[in-house]
Amino acid sequence: MKCSTAINLMISGVLVCMSTAIHAQTDDNSTSSRIEPAILETANALIDTALKSNLGYEIVESLTTEVGPRLAGSEAEKRARDWAEKLGDSLSFDRVSVEEFTMPFWDRGHLHISLTQPYKQALYGTALGGSAPSTEDLEAPVVYFRTVHDIQNINDGELNGKIAFIDGEPMVKSQTGAGYGPSNQKRRIGWQHAQRGGASALVIRSVGSDSHRFPHTGMMSSDNNNWATIPVIAISNPDADHLRRLHELNKTMHLSLHSGSDWQGDVTSGNVVFDLVGRDKPDEIVLIGGHLDSWDLGTGAVDDGAGVAITTAAAELIARLPHRPRRTIRVVLFGAEEVGLLGARAYAAQHAAELNNHVLATESDFGAEKIWRLRSNVNPDANAVIDGIGRQIERLGIVRGDAKSPGGGPDIIPLAAAGVPTVRLDQNGTDYFDLHHTPDDTLDKISPEALAQNVAAYAALVYIAAESEAEFRLPKATEDKE
């Protein structure tokens, strides 16, 4: 046994690590001195208000109903920005702005895919983001790969005239979503090997934890900014099971497919920014947000209408307090997240000069189930304040996670990379990848009660962070003090 800190005692020959207890006591003392009781009282009242409010649900209902699917760069995403501008104006924000940027537009077009040998059967598939069209109606025999690792061993040209199919293992379900990364490899890089092998197309098992007949779309990774020149299609898990069973029966399989997906040149996208200007330190920004774009198959309720709704509603509830918090609260509804964090990168570039004034940032982009954990990555001197926030939202069923979790959400990555401190309120992701990037991501999947819990947690977190004097930013050059 070994203690990770210096403080320990030998009692009757047994090593007793005291760090936790002593540390907790320190927290209690320091936090009570750091978060003023009045702030905690207001945060508590915000939680009560949020739990009774339907505002979050109304926002996501409006977005999904009045705008619908919002593919990055499409006219639908433009309508979403118009919707967001109108929403911001109708709420209590002090500034509403649209910050445009240019991006390459990939459009799905029409797809059909079917099994043609050993018999004809329609498959439920969808093109992956960044994939190329088929030049003609394609019909070819299938070469089966059990996993993405297997296709990495092929020789160049070995798949000429064939369609590669990468199966895979069932995705592990968990509240952290830990199964996504490993499962996603076939979506990310599978095409590079299929194309190198000369395949006419690549078909993969969807990256998803459900067993429904929905394909999961999503972006592939580019190969040094080169995209696939072949169609790359994800089929539903039951369809992949079907091909696996036929393969195990040694049946020769042929697929026919036609994909119209392609890059369409540069278009305009944008981020929509809502500000509640701080009464005391208007230049210091607590940034929260979600992303406004969605994949085009569903209506983007869970991914990420929920994040838009949660963070906007939390800020609005704070805006209805008698006065603005000390710091500015900024809600950023990012554009073009799904296709490579393009809005997030544009935001970081356009706001490069003021990133040092971003004192804390977080995004809600992991669905709409209840939040179960608070993690952070801030100046260690301010951990006690985050711990205090954790105690404040404990009654919402939220536990305090570790204080060394870089992140804050996908669109926060460019900010975190520039040194902006982050926190994260983790939604329970157990079922998130059942819906993720499928046609089934629709409003009916959101529980108003769970959404209200999210709004309550965000409202308390953001209010305390903006109202307190805590310095979350890391001192330059001594980022890892301990």
Using the rule CB under 8 A, is 137 a contact of a second copy? no
Q: Is 276 exposed, middle or buried (0-12, 13-18, 19+ CB in 10 A)?
A: buried
Tell me how far, at minimum, the Cβ of 236 lies from a second copy, in Å: 9
| C-alpha distance from residue 465 to each of 110, 137, 193, 461 (Å) | 47, 57, 47, 6
- Binding a second copy (rule: CB under 8 A), the pick from 214, 372, 432, 433 is 214
Q: Which of 308, 318, 284, 314 is nearest to 368 (CA)?
A: 308
Binders of a second copy in range 292-331 (CB under 8 A): 298-299
The single residue listed with the structure tokens 């009781």 is: 37
Per-residue contact flags (x/-) with a second copy for residues 27 to 66, judged by CB under 8 A: ----------------------------------x--xxx
Q: Which is nearer to a second copy, 160 or 211 (CB)?
A: 211
Cα radius of gyration (the chain): 24
Binding region for a second copy (CB under 8 A) out of 111-119, 134-142, 152-160, 184-192: 111-119
Q: Which is nearer to a second copy, 305 or 439 (CB)?
A: 439
- Binding a second copy (rule: CB under 8 A), the pick from 3, 51, 58, 68 is 68
The contacts of residue 108 (CB under 8 Å, 6+ apart) are 71, 126, 127, 217, 260, 261, 296
Binding region for a second copy (CB under 8 A) out of 9-17, 235-243, 254-262, 283-291: 235-243
- Label the pairing between strands 111-117 and 163-166: unpaired
Q: Would you state the structure tokens that stand for residue 472, as one six-digit string?
A: 């979350």
The contacts of residue 128 (CB under 8 Å, 6+ apart) are 187, 191, 204, 217, 218, 219, 220, 232, 233, 234
Using the rule CB under 8 A, is 443 a contact of a second copy? yes
Q: Which is nearer to a second copy, 120 or 395 (CB)?
A: 120
Q: What are the beta bridge partners of residue 97?
A: 273
Tell me how far, at minimum, the Cβ of 294 lies from a second copy, in Å: 12
Q: Which is nearer to a second copy, 123 or 313 (CB)?
A: 123
Tell me how far, at minimum, the Cβ of 253 lies from a second copy, in Å: 12
Tell me how far, at minimum, the Cβ of 63 lies from a second copy, in Å: 12
Tell me how far, at minimum, the Cβ of 245 lies from a second copy, in Å: 4
The single residue listed with the structure tokens 């800020």 is: 315
The phi and psi torsions of 180 (rounded to 5 degrees) equal -65, -50
The single residue listed with the structure tokens 């209506």 is: 299
Tell me how far, at minimum, the Cβ of 296 lies from a second copy, in Å: 8
- Contacts with a second copy by CB under 8 A: the residue count is 35
Tell me how far, at minimum, the Cβ of 420 lies from a second copy, in Å: 36
- Label the pairing between strands 327-334 and 281-291: parallel
Tell me how far, at minimum, the Cβ of 210 lies from a second copy, in Å: 10
Binding region for a second copy (CB under 8 A) out of 207-215, 325-333, 403-411, 474-482: 207-215
The secondary element (H helix, E strand) that includes residue 208 is: none
The contacts of residue 131 (CB under 8 Å, 6+ apart) are 191, 220, 227, 228, 230, 231, 232, 233, 259, 261
The contacts of residue 169 (CB under 8 Å, 6+ apart) are 147, 183
Q: Where are the beta strands (DSSP E) in 399-463?
A: 399-400, 422-427
- Binding a second copy (rule: CB under 8 A), the pick from 57, 93, 105, 124 is 124
Using the rule CB under 8 A, is 86 a contact of a second copy? no
- Binding a second copy (rule: CB under 8 A), the pick from 69, 343, 388, 414 is 69
Q: Which is nearer to a second copy, 28 or 241 (CB)?
A: 241
- List residues near a second copy by CB under 8 A: 61, 64-69, 76, 79, 115, 118-121, 124, 211-214, 237-238, 241-242, 245-246, 249, 298-299, 438-440, 442-445
